[in-house]
Structure 1
């Protein structure tokens, strides 16, 4: 498992920062799949450094809980307190909330870090109120995006694909956990377009867990090539890929 109390936790904020405009776009996209009524109580499961958690509180105006196992990442999140947010130590397999305590659960790129995915999804079902929704934003092994930086790190695509479940495998697991998956994978876009130079400056911090699984020589060679390309063509705008998500419901 990746240690977010170590090197990754130290570089995550800089390497994975998102702008206020991105936060608004992500939260607005998530809101599309949740009830229009307000307030809504929300769990941000695997909230990390709290990139989206305050934005969820601003949008849904209920109680928002950020549950995160990494003490280092929770500490970063707590440096920017929000009156509607409570950060809690916990994990997917041990959510520190009572049954039927939230209207929605967001799993934003955290599912592949669950130590026990089935138990984690059962916990999600437990804390959701009947009729509540869980938003599972993740990659799927059979729907991998063509990310620009895979060109520089040839093993990265297979490493990433190995971290994720296929759509059908995920739906089967979700169903076993007592949740009902939507029929279709939802695609949403929240990222800002970035230039090659901007993208290189972010990526070189290695704030993506993929780099923890690559050989040192491949990482070194890949960044040398990427740095050279960013120097030659710094203003080239890279494509923005849509994110994939399943909407899950706890039956009434």
Structure 2
């Protein structure tokens, strides 16, 4: 498990920032699969520094709840009149039964200590017809991220954090949540130059770096920096993001 109160809270805003265009793309993608009525009550589970929570309230009418166990991350969350940030875990969500229409898990599922209990909790807090938006990686569909070439252990370290698509779907069904037949692939990020990618990754705001040897991190960033300085304007590929949609039918 990664302790975001230790180091990552200090670098997360710089290393994991999302611009408004990216946020808008995600909101449009979510709007395609959630219930049509408005307003919708939204849970942002593992909300971190609240990158998406205010936009969820704006897009779906609110209220929105950002539930995050890290006090240092919550402290950085932006205020919004229809957003409430709460201390809590995925295994014990501090909301009432059948109180939410939508739950967003944006790259947080792999951090949950008991994923099966978390899915049961999501079933509990969702109303019938509610939707879980599970933005995650999956061990059998890992992306080939452009910065992996500098850190040979990173792909395996990342894959080890995630479950396969089939495992995740089985767990969801066991909790009473029905997966849509196919993953959705969302191209929300904008292209970055190699120099911009280096600046972003070098913050070490990705939890991947909590699992790599120090010598590999040092050597990898040295090579990454050399390439970024030699060819700063090289455009790096945009990797589509995986979104699994789970529905509470009853």
TM over 0.5: yes
Q: What is residue 2 of structure 1 aligned with on the other side?
A: 2
1:38 maps onto 2:21 in alignment: no
Aligned positions of 1:107-146 closer than 5 A: 107-146=105-144
CA distance in 1, matches of 2:138, 2:207: 16
Looking at structure 2, the residues matched to 118 and 47 of structure 1 have their Cα atoms a distance apart, in angstroms, of 19
Separation in structure 1 between the aligned mates of residue 29 and residue 15 of structure 2, nearest angstrom: 23
Q: Deviations over 1:104-148 (max 9, x none)?
A: 000110000000000000000000001111111100000000101
Gaps of 5+ in 1: none
> Residues 190-205 of structure 1: matches in 2 within 5 Å?
190-205=188-203
Partner of 2:227: 229
> Which residue is 1:162 aligned to?
160
1:76 counterpart SS class: coil
Match of 1:182 among 152, 177, 180: 180
Query: Is the CA contact 2:131–2:247 (under 8 Å) kept in the aligned structure 1?
Result: yes
Matches within 5 A, 1:204-243: 204-243=202-241
Q: CA deviation at 1:103?
A: 0.4
TM-score under structure 1 normalisation?
Answer: 0.98
Shift of 1:36: 2.3
Aligned to 1:87: 85
Asked whether the 8 Å contact 2:107–2:135 carries over to 1, the reply is yes
Which residue pairs with 1:96 in the alignment? 94
Alpha-carbon distance in 2 for matches of 1:5, 1:27: 28
Note the residue ranges of structure 2 that are not aligned, 5 or more in a row: none
Q: How many residues align?
A: 250
Separation in structure 2 between the aligned mates of residue 193 and residue 91 of structure 1, nearest angstrom: 34
